[in-house]
A and B are shown apart, each in its own frame.
Chain A
Amino acid sequence: MDTNIVIALFILIIPVFNFLFLGLLGSKMSEKTAGTIGTVGLGIVALLSYITAYNYFFGYGKVDGVYLPISEGFEWLRFTEHLHIDLGILLDPISIMMLVVVSTVSFMVHLYSIGYMHGEKGFQRYFSFLSLFSFAMLGLVVATNIFQMYIFWELVGVSSYLLIGFYYTKPSAVAASKKAFIVTRFADLGFLVGILLLSYFTKTFDFAQICDTSATGAILSNNVTTTFLGFSVISWAMALIFIGGAGKSAMLPLHIWLPDAMEGPTPVSALIHAATMVVAGVFLVARLFPVYYFFTPTVLQIIGYLGAATSLFAALVACTQTDIKRVLAFSTISQIAYMLVALGVSKYGAEHEAGLGYMASMFHLFTHAFFKSLLFLAAGAIIHAVHSNEMGDMGGLRKYLPITHITFLIACLSIAGIPPFSGFFSKDEILVAAFEHDKILFVCQYLVAGLTAFYMFRLYYSIFWGKETHYHHTPHEAGLNMTIPLLFLAFLTVVTGFIPFADLITTDGKPMEIHTVWEVAIPSVLVGLVGIAIATYMYKKPTLMPDKVSNSLGGFYKATAKKFYFDELYIFVTKKIIFNGISTPIAWFDRHVVDGFMDLQATISNGVSAKIKGLQSGHVQQYVWVFAVSVFIIAGLVIFLPL
């Protein structure tokens, strides 16, 4: 086996080993041991990911100037001649980028959690779940085929459920974990049906074969002609697959689980709900991008528009939330939708910047992962210091939490798209891509960029400036293991923008020449600055402005604050329509017909077995008699029945 694959294999083995080790023996070790084992394990994983990335991008990955995918695997289950499930490892630019993102953030979150979770009941369990999640996510990104991806996809769902519901004695946490699991599972149903449809027509699960767009190899082109309700079956399949992605990535209208998932421990939110699991949907679309682009452009366009709608919606809602984690949650939804917009406007190939959107999307995924997890971890530090999630309980914290303050500010500037922070570069590329391919989406995203700057600085000022709040205990900065991750991520937020992504990650593996489009870059910075300026004016000092503005907006403000009543709508649809109209009759059917059948089966079995008990008398004479009679009856039937 190739050494590079072996290294990648260890990236997967270490977390799964940690999960089993901490899960089985965790209760017998001290917090310190469990935390150290988990963190060191992930540290090694991160290191191995960097080695893999370095070797791939600056070594074996590039053949004749093109980055080629490298994969190795074995057949696990064979169903038919064509259809078999393989397990393997696929290394290509996007999977390696994801390895770096996931392992880095996970490592930081592990380190941070040692301090944050100190003294919690179930500390060891927490670390074993973290390892499980890391394993699932790393496995998802290196999957060689769509079914393997699905397996890890579900594993991600399960481990996320376990982590959101970590405080299982708190009813709201339990409800949130169930909500997250059910909503994403529901979406995954679409994913599964899509996979089955796709594999039925292509006779393969393998990404390399599905995405093969060369004239000779394209299996899909034969099937585009089969249609159902006006769309080709491949379009249906790809749309269904995207529904799975939309569930995990919290796209409209499946976003409702993400804000509630903030009930989990804050480091978990940083890992799962900012940097890794929620971008799985983006990764999925990127992984299947050639199929979307060449065979189902309509679906890709829908993805783009859905992304734009989601990003605008989430940005509006984020402006009105008062729980700092929820603001960040809606901001995450909005930013992930940004990435999908970029994919939606992307073309294929390196010439004339056609694949710019794809590259920008991956770039934004990369930079966003770091600054958003930084924001969450900083929020965690704040919550740790003031013991509240509500903005109203905060204010003037810059004096007490200097490190948190500076790192949070860096992340805010980055997400607002202010140069030279990383968010500027990636967001700018997205806006350029949208500008060149779809003006409507560009306007929408431009507006969202302004809103983003506004709500992030609203958050920033409410926490660190604003009114002087009197605290019971003077808040103080947390220990080193919590501040080091903040500083490290802040460092990444500053430098990652300078990575030449266009050379590394493109639609077809060929490096792309990009140039700066000033007529987009300058206005995008300006709109960010305007957002910041308004926020400064409204929130830096305690004024009556915010109330005035919200009053003047009236109904619209209320609707936004209520997240446009999506939760209420869901409750109405599920409780009133589905439960009463569908579930109740089904429950009746289940109780009376299905259970009745089972009871009948039991009654009959019991009765008959009591009746025939006597056959087993213990007398050999009778046994021989039954034997002989049976033989002759069977022989008679065989000979005289017309068969």
Chain B
Amino acid sequence: MNIETILLMRTEFLLIFLLVALIVLDLFASNNLKKYFDSIACFLFLATTLVGFLPLNEGEAFGGMFVADRMNAVVKSILNVGVLLVFLQSKTWLNNAYTNHKKSEVYILIISTLLGMDLMISSGHFLLFYIGLELASLPLAALIAYNKYSKESVEAGAKFILMAAFSSGILLYGLSMFYGAVGEAGLYFDALSGLVKPTSIQLLAMVFFIAGMAFKISLVPFHLWTADVYQGAPTNITAFLSVVSKGAAVYALMIVLYKVFNNIFDSWEFVVYGLIVVTITVGNLFAMRQQNMKRFLAFSSISQAGYIMLGLLPGTALGMSSVVFYLLVYLVSNLGIFAVVSILENHSKKESITDYNGLYQTNPKLSVIMMLFLFSLAGIPPFAGFFSKFFVFMAAAEMKYYALVFIALINTVISLYYYLIVVKAMFITKNETPITTVKTDTSSKLGLFICVIGTLFLGILSYFYETINQFSVGLF
């Protein structure tokens, strides 16, 4: 391993270093020092994130197993920002009496899943891909079951690990069939792409693979775990699940579909097309009926995943840029909503939509901010969410998926309805006893600030989309 390899894998190495450092700190530091654990972790993570913004050489390491290009560096940076936002909004939750003594676990586990995701999205070989996938899944189960004295949390953890095991099994089964069919060349993406043919076994392998990834992205009908797990998990972990984990999986799936299954585009186009239609629609239909805020957000995020997949479908540079841009916008808006939900939950233990009635009277600033994020998710201009939806639709329409874009547009109308339900609850519905005024802590404020700025300006300032587009054009 030479210095160039280390530079190519700088994010991964920094994360490993960070992981070790935090474990050591947790084990050996004095209690006095441990009080500052959050700040130290956030600060170190911020440094890692900033390093990710430095210019990068493109290249391969370990004989093509690890691929570093500017696009996946952008995605890693987006994920880093997401994790940083999750850290910022978790502080209050972690410092309560029940979790204070084990707060280091959250940081360590999240960073290890992030490491898994980074490996997954920059892999050039199915083996590394699978290792990354598992590394990104297993610590999640522990995180979901983090409140181990809460029945819901434990149940959610159990459901997640069972479903994850099942879906990993399917995915691995698919990969093994694939290896059986074309494996003489090894499982390098580049080498495989020429060998893929629409034979039955390969198609079956492809479907198994897509199903395994669809579980991670929670596409319908592989989404059934989502609502239960999102509801049971601690809110900040739900935020992480719904944004960072999902984003990494989408990008990884996109890379494999484009690089490996390029030859059988017609087949995966059919599968992905169908998944998008049912995902957007079913996600919306369920979101309409939810009473619990976290379940509501679970279905909203399922539906949003359908829109992201819409950008993936065309298989063009424009599609890729629209996916990555959508991820970025979705990240700031959705994490913003979760930040508000978690602030209110920490304060009042309330998480039902009816609890939000009359919130504007007591917490006007939080309500307005929340409305901003909801509008962005619903795709109302001039917020960033409008632009991300616009680019996704444009990418799909460019490749003549008019029917699909039409379905997606109708669903946008439906989604507007349920996002506005929350807005209505906060601003219009009268309530005798609304949630009392909350004093937001500084780190959550900082997180919210970043989300607000992102939601307001990511779309209007064309710089972000242009940069992403430039990188994705380079890959095609």
Q: Is the CB of A643 within 8 A of B270?
A: yes
* Distance in angstroms between the alpha carbons of A606 and B287 in the assembled complex: 11
Q: Is the CB of B289 within 8 A of A610?
A: yes
Q: Is the CB of B285 within 8 A of A608?
A: yes
Q: Is A119 an interface residue (CB 8 A)?
A: no
* Distance in angstroms between the alpha carbons of A390 and B453 in the assembled complex: 54
* Distance in angstroms between the alpha carbons of A618 and B224 in the assembled complex: 8
Q: Is the interface of A mostly helix, strand, loop or mixed?
A: helix
Contact status of A605 and B224, CB under 8 A, knowing A631-B207, A643-B266: no
Name the residue in A610, A627, A630, A637 with the highest tally of chain B Cβ atoms < 10 Å from its Cβ: A627
Q: Is the CB of B211 within 8 A of A606?
A: no
Q: Which of B162, B167, B207, B282 is the one whose CB lies under 8 Å from A634?
A: B207
Q: Is B208 an interface residue (CB 8 A)?
A: yes
Q: Is B462 an interface residue (CB 8 A)?
A: yes
CB distance from B156 to the nearest CB of A (A): 11
Q: Is the CB of B413 within 8 A of A601?
A: yes
What residues on B are CB-neighbors of A643 within 8 Å?
198, 266-267, 270
Residue of A nearest to B226 (CB): A616
Q: Is B130 an interface residue (CB 8 A)?
A: no
Q: Which of A601, A613, A628 is the one whose CB lies under 8 Å from B410?
A: A601
Q: Is A622 an interface residue (CB 8 A)?
A: yes
Residue of A nearest to B199 (CB): A639
* Distance in angstroms between the alpha carbons of A613 and B222 in the assembled complex: 16
Name the residue in B162, B207, B417, B462 with the highest tally of chain A Cβ atoms < 10 Å from its Cβ: B207
Q: Is the CB of B288 within 8 A of A624?
A: no
* Distance in angstroms between the alpha carbons of A620 and B414 in the assembled complex: 29
Q: Is the CB of A624 within 8 A of B215?
A: no
What residues on A are CB-neighbors of B166 within 8 Å?
624, 627
Q: Is B227 an interface residue (CB 8 A)?
A: yes
Interface string of A29-67 (1 = CB under 8 A from B): 000000000000000000000000000000000000000
Q: Which of B224, B285, B466 is the one whose CB lies under 8 Å from A626?
A: B224
What residues on B are CB-neighbors of A598 within 8 Å?
413
Q: Is A569 an interface residue (CB 8 A)?
A: no
* Distance in angstroms between the alpha carbons of A634 and B282 in the assembled complex: 17
Q: Is the CB of B267 within 8 A of A627?
A: no
Q: Is the CB of A605 within 8 A of B288?
A: yes
Q: Is the CB of A616 within 8 A of B221?
A: no
CB distance from B159 to the nearest CB of A (A): 5
Residue of B nearest to A79 (CB): B394
Q: Is B196 an interface residue (CB 8 A)?
A: no
Q: Is B284 an interface residue (CB 8 A)?
A: yes
Q: Is B200 an interface residue (CB 8 A)?
A: yes
Q: Is B286 an interface residue (CB 8 A)?
A: yes
Q: Is the CB of B162 within 8 A of A624?
A: yes
Interface string of B144-183 (1 = CB under 8 A from A): 0000000000000011001100110010000000000000
Q: Is B225 an interface residue (CB 8 A)?
A: yes
Q: Is B134 an interface residue (CB 8 A)?
A: no
Q: Is the CB of A638 within 8 A of B267?
A: yes
Q: Is B271 an interface residue (CB 8 A)?
A: yes
* Distance in angstroms between the alpha carbons of A635 and B208 in the assembled complex: 8
Q: Is the CB of A623 within 8 A of B163?
A: yes
* Distance in angstroms between the alpha carbons of A395 and B473 in the assembled complex: 75
Q: Which of A601, A627, A635, A641 is the one whose CB lies under 8 Å from B167?
A: A627
Interface string of A70-104 (1 = CB under 8 A from B): 00000111100000000000000000000000000
* Distance in angstroms between the alpha carbons of A77 and B466 in the assembled complex: 9
Q: Is B131 an interface residue (CB 8 A)?
A: no
Interface string of B214-243 (1 = CB under 8 A from A): 010000011011011000000000000000
CB distance from B394 to the nearest CB of A (A): 10
* Distance in angstroms between the alpha carbons of A616 and B222 in the assembled complex: 12
Query: Interface size on B (CB < 8 Å)?
Result: 40
Q: Is the CB of B289 within 8 A of A627?
A: no
Q: Is the CB of B286 within 8 A of A620?
A: no
What residues on B are CB-neighbors of A215 within 8 Å?
none
Q: Is A615 an interface residue (CB 8 A)?
A: yes
Q: Is the CB of A638 within 8 A of B208?
A: no
What residues on A are CB-neighbors of B163 within 8 Å?
620, 623-624, 627
* Distance in angstroms between the alpha carbons of A606 and B206 in the assembled complex: 35
* Distance in angstroms between the alpha carbons of A618 and B226 in the assembled complex: 10
What residues on B are CB-neighbors of A627 within 8 Å?
163, 166-167, 170, 211, 215, 221-222, 224
Q: Which of B204, B286, B413, B466 is the one whose CB lies under 8 Å from A616?
A: B286
* Distance in angstroms between the alpha carbons of A635 and B270 in the assembled complex: 11
Name the residue in A616, A635, A638, A639 with the highest tally of chain B Cβ atoms < 10 Å from its Cβ: A638
Q: Is the CB of B159 within 8 A of A620?
A: yes
Q: Is B15 an interface residue (CB 8 A)?
A: no
Q: Is the CB of B274 within 8 A of A622?
A: no
Q: Is the CB of B221 within 8 A of A630?
A: yes
Q: Is B141 an interface residue (CB 8 A)?
A: no
What residues on B are CB-neighbors of A609 within 8 Å?
285-286, 288-289
Q: Is A612 an interface residue (CB 8 A)?
A: yes
Contact status of A639 and B200, CB under 8 A, knowing A608-B285, A624-B162, A627-B215: yes
* Distance in angstroms between the alpha carbons of A602 and B288 in the assembled complex: 11
Q: Is the CB of B203 within 8 A of A605?
A: no
Q: Is the CB of A638 within 8 A of B271?
A: yes
* Distance in angstroms between the alpha carbons of A641 and B203 in the assembled complex: 12
Residue of A nearest to B466 (CB): A78
What residues on A are CB-neighbors of B206 within 8 Å?
638
* Distance in angstroms between the alpha carbons of A630 and B288 in the assembled complex: 24
Q: Is the CB of B462 within 8 A of A635?
A: no
* Distance in angstroms between the alpha carbons of A77 and B203 in the assembled complex: 41
Q: Is the CB of B282 within 8 A of A606?
A: no
Which positions 280-330 of chain B face chain A at CB distance < 8 Å? Answer: 282, 284-286, 288-289
Beyond contacts A620-B162, A627-B211, A643-B266: 5 other A-B pairs, Cβ-Cβ < 8 A, are A605-B284, A627-B163, A627-B222, A639-B203, A643-B267
Chain A contact residues, CB within 8 Å of chain B: 75-78, 598, 601-602, 605-606, 608-610, 612-613, 615-616, 618, 620, 622-624, 626-628, 630-631, 634-635, 637-639, 641, 643
Chain B contact residues, CB within 8 Å of chain A: 158-159, 162-163, 166-167, 170, 198, 200, 203-204, 206-208, 210-211, 215, 221-222, 224-225, 227-228, 266-267, 270-271, 274, 282, 284-286, 288-289, 410, 413-414, 417, 462, 466
7 shortest A-B CB distances, which residue pairs?
A609-B285, A623-B224, A635-B207, A630-B221, A631-B211, A643-B266, A639-B203
Can you spell out 18 A-B residue pairs with CB atoms less than 8 angstroms apart? A76-B462, A601-B413, A601-B414, A605-B288, A620-B159, A620-B163, A623-B163, A627-B215, A627-B222, A630-B222, A631-B211, A634-B210, A635-B208, A638-B203, A638-B270, A638-B271, A639-B204, A643-B267
